A and B are shown apart, each in its own frame.
Chain A
Amino acid sequence: MLAIRKFRFIHHLLCKNAARYNTTDRGVRGLYDRSAEISRSNDDMPISMENPYKEEPKGCILCNVTVDHKNVQLLSQFVSPHTGCIYGRHITGLCGRKQREVSKAIKKAHHMGFMSVTLKDPSFMKDPNICHIKHME
């Protein structure tokens, strides 16, 4: 019995809502159509274009620079002046490929007798600091 009452209640609600949406009120519809025409003629819709504030894709600082084991001055910029150890990626800010190239070149230079292992050449101490590291003075 309860089920029947619930069904009747739901049925009543549906009929009410159906009546609302199935309205054939021509008048209201007509108004709506005319307003659409007005807005189309104003033409203030957004124009499709590519993002004018788009930033160009940035690469790392050694993007188009060939890394050579003979170029000791360049390699020394990625090496600590106190210990001579090679800085990690989080300090140099280089991309994966260039970091690996620099690391390999430094180790090659060490072995071949181009670059010092435990210190940075004193003539390269005044070079600009590219790595994000602050030394305690």
Chain B
Amino acid sequence: MPRYELTLILKAMQRPETVATLRRTVETLIERGAVVRGLENLGERALPYKISKHGIRHTRGGYFLLDFHSQSEILPAFLDHLKRDVDVVRPTVLSKETAAANTRCCVPQPEKPKDALPRRK
């Protein structure tokens, strides 16, 4: 399972430039000893709110999802590197550990008998 997930919002660019940016990012990751599992494109869409970054007010962006396994020590430096990249609008790294399966989800609590004294607030 992917250990980390990088949500990358890139500036709205032409395809070759987007490709170049993604290639740079993945190569940086691999240099720092990460194993990239996969890259997903969520499409180019209008941003939910205008983001000002590197002196430009962005209204549209390309959303990309990058799954990778890596050591946790490289992450602060990697995020710092991404923040300095001019083409990256917003990078976010989230850990993607699978949560324990909840079998008893939303089972309603047994009703308390009406004789039960109310809790003092």
* Interface of A toward B, CB cutoff 8 Å: 57-60, 62-64, 70, 95, 97-98, 108, 111-118, 121
27 A-B pairs whose Cβ atoms sit less than 8 Å apart in the complex: A57-B108, A58-B108, A59-B106, A62-B106, A63-B105, A63-B106, A64-B105, A70-B42, A70-B65, A95-B106, A95-B108, A97-B102, A97-B106, A98-B106, A108-B94, A111-B92, A113-B47, A113-B48, A113-B49, A113-B61, A113-B89, A113-B90, A113-B92, A115-B48, A116-B48, A117-B48, A117-B49
* Interface of B toward A, CB cutoff 8 Å: 7, 9, 42, 47-49, 51, 61, 63, 65, 89-90, 92, 94, 102, 105-108
A59 touching B48 by the CB < 8 A rule? no
A113 touching B9 by the CB < 8 A rule? yes
Picked from B49, B94, B106, the residue with its CB within 8 Å of the CB of A116 is B49
Picked from B9, B92, B108, the residue with its CB within 8 Å of the CB of A59 is B108
Chain A residues whose C-beta falls within 8 Å of the C-beta of B65 in the assembled complex: 70
Picked from A57, A97, A121, the residue with its CB within 8 Å of the CB of B48 is A121
B105 touching A59 by the CB < 8 A rule? yes
Determine the residue in chain A with the shortest Cβ distance to B105.
A63
SS class, residues of chain B in contact with chain A: strand
B106 touching A60 by the CB < 8 A rule? yes
A97 touching B107 by the CB < 8 A rule? no
